[in-house]
Amino acid sequence: MFRELPEILESQELIDRAFKKTDKVNIVDRDAFYRKKKTIIAKTDSFCTTIITTLESYVKKFPSINNMHPFFQELLAIKFDVDELKKSLGGVDWARKTSYMVFTTQITQLKRSQNIEFLKQKQKEIYGRVTSIVKQVKKELKTLKDARDVFISFPDIEDIPTVVIAGFPNVGKSSLLRCLSSAKPEIAQYPFTTKELVIGHMFKQEKYDKTKIQIIDTPGLLDRPLSERNKIERQAISAVKNLADIVVFIFDPTETCGYRFDDQKHLFSQMQEMFKDSEFIIVENKADFKKTSSKNIKVSCESKEGIDVLINEIISKI
Contact track, ligand GTP, 168-207, x by CB under 6 A: -xxxxxxx-----------xxx-xxxx-------------
Smallest separation (angstroms) from ligand GTP to the CB of 58: 36
Residues in contact with ligand GTP, counted by CB under 6 A, come to a total of: 23
Q: Find out whether 173 and 192 touch, Cβ atoms under 8 Å.
A: no
Contact track, ligand GTP, 127-166, x by CB under 6 A: ----------------------------------------
Residue with the shortest CB distance to ligand GTP: 220
Question: What span, in angstroms and rounded, lies between the C-alpha atoms of 98 and 52?
Answer: 9
Q: Which span sits near Mg ion by CB under 5 A: 74-82, 166-174, 241-249, 289-297?
A: 166-174
Smallest separation (angstroms) from Mg ion to the CB of 76: 23
Smallest separation (angstroms) from ligand GTP to the CB of 216: 12
Smallest separation (angstroms) from Mg ion to the CB of 259: 14
Question: What span, in angstroms and rounded, lies between the C-alpha atoms of 247 and 296?
Answer: 14
Is 194 among the residues that bind Mg ion (CB under 5 A)? yes
Tally of helices (H runs) and strands (E runs) in the chain? 10, 6
Is 110 among the residues that bind ligand GTP (CB under 6 A)? no
CA angle, corner 150, sides to 95 and 80, nearest 5? 75
Question: What span, in angstroms and rounded, lies between the C-alpha atoms of 78 and 75?
Answer: 5
Residues 6+ apart with CB under 8 A from 31: none
Q: Which span sits near ligand GTP by CB under 6 A: 31-39, 50-58, 139-147, 286-294?
A: 286-294
DSSP-based three-state secondary structure for 214? strand
Q: Which is nearer to ligand GTP, 43 or 298 (CB)?
A: 298
Is 261 among the residues that bind ligand GTP (CB under 6 A)? no
Q: Which span sits near Mg ion by CB under 5 A: 26-34, 114-122, 186-194, 206-214?
A: 186-194
Nearest Cα to 178, choosing from 195, 201, 161? 201
Mode of pairing for the β-strands spanning 198-206 and 209-217: antiparallel
In whole angstroms, how far apart are CA 288 and each of 269, 285, 310?
A: 26, 8, 16
Q: Which span sits near ligand GTP by CB under 6 A: 24-32, 52-60, 94-102, 280-288?
A: 280-288
Smallest separation (angstroms) from ligand GTP to the CB of 257: 7
Residues 6+ apart with CB under 8 A from 257: 168, 169, 170, 171, 172, 191
Question: In the β-sheet with 198-206, what is the strand arrangement from edge to edge?
Answer: 198-206, 209-217, 162-167, 246-251, 279-284, 297-298
Q: Which is nearer to ligand GTP, 91 or 220 (CB)?
A: 220
Name which position in 174, 181, 254, 264 contacts Mg ion (CB under 5 A). 174
Residues that bind ligand GTP (CB under 6 A): 169-175, 187-189, 191-194, 219-220, 285-286, 288-289, 300-302
Residues that bind Mg ion (CB under 5 A): 173-174, 193-194
